[in-house]
């Protein structure tokens, strides 16, 4: 899945677009402001891909275990990859935390199905973020 396919998939499903948009907007800082849909996609595509593919969805784990795993793995990924992905590390940290919070609050069966479908699409690739 590339950024354009990701954007189209997100735009077509409000179960995905709302949480991803809110997580992207949470990344606003004094120096980094997400204002356009394209900016949200640019920030959130690598973060969503990493969280959903490498960490997984919280309802598939014990929530406490998921929270610990997310905290450890995302922080390490941000340290190692955020600049290579063209992301501000502070914005990436904030957005990833907000995304995981959104996922942890997801209880609706339809919303979970949307996220599981997105996970399958993201995993279908080679595991690397593509443009």
What average pLDDT does the segment 36-40 reach?
A: 70
> Could you read off the pLDDT of 83-114 as tens digits, one per residue?
788 888 888 888 888 998 899 899 999 999 99
Label residues 14-28 b or e (16+ Cβ within 10 Å = b): ebbbebbbebbbbbe
Residue pair 99/20 in contact (Cβ under 8 Å)? The answer is: yes
Mean residue pLDDT across the chain = 82
**Per-residue confidence at 29, pLDDT binned at 50, 70, 90?**
low
pLDDT tops 50 at residue 73? yes
Return the half-sphere exposure (C-beta side, CA atoms, 13 A cut-off) of residue 80.
Answer: 7
pLDDT of amino acid 76: 86
Which pTM value belongs to this model?
Answer: 0.77
Domain boundaries of the chain, sorted by first residue: 3-123
What average pLDDT does the segment 56-71 reach?
A: 76
Q: How far apart are CA 115 and CA 118, in angstroms?
A: 5
Q: Which one, of 98, 111, 114, 95, lies nearest residue 42 by Cα? A: 95
Q: How far apart are CA 65 and CA 6, in angstroms?
A: 28
What average pLDDT does the segment 22-32 reach?
A: 71
pLDDT of amino acid 86: 81
Q: How far apart are CA 116 and CA 42, in angstroms?
A: 21
**Per-residue confidence at 127, pLDDT binned at 50, 70, 90?**
very low
* List of residues 6+ apart from 123 with CB closer than 8 A: 53
Higher pLDDT, 120 or 31: 120
pLDDT tops 70 at residue 44? yes
pLDDT of amino acid 58: 82
């Amino acid at each position: 899945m590339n950024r354009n396919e990701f954007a189209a998939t997100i735009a077509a499903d409000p179960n995905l677009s709302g949480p991803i948009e809110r997580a992207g907007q949470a990344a606003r800082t004094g120096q980094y402001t997400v204002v356009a849909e394209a900016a949200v996609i640019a920030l959130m595509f690598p973060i969503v891909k990493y969280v959903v593919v490498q960490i997984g969805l919280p309802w598939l784990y014990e929530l406490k275990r998921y929270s610990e795993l997310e905290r450890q793995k995302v922080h390490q990924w941000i340290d190692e990859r955020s600049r290579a992905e063209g992301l501000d590390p502070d914005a990436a940290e904030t957005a990833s935390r907000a995304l995981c919070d959104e996922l942890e609050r997801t209880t609706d069966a339809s919303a979970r199905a949307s996220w599981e479908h997105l996970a399958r699409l993201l995993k279908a690739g080679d595991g690397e973020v593509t443009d």
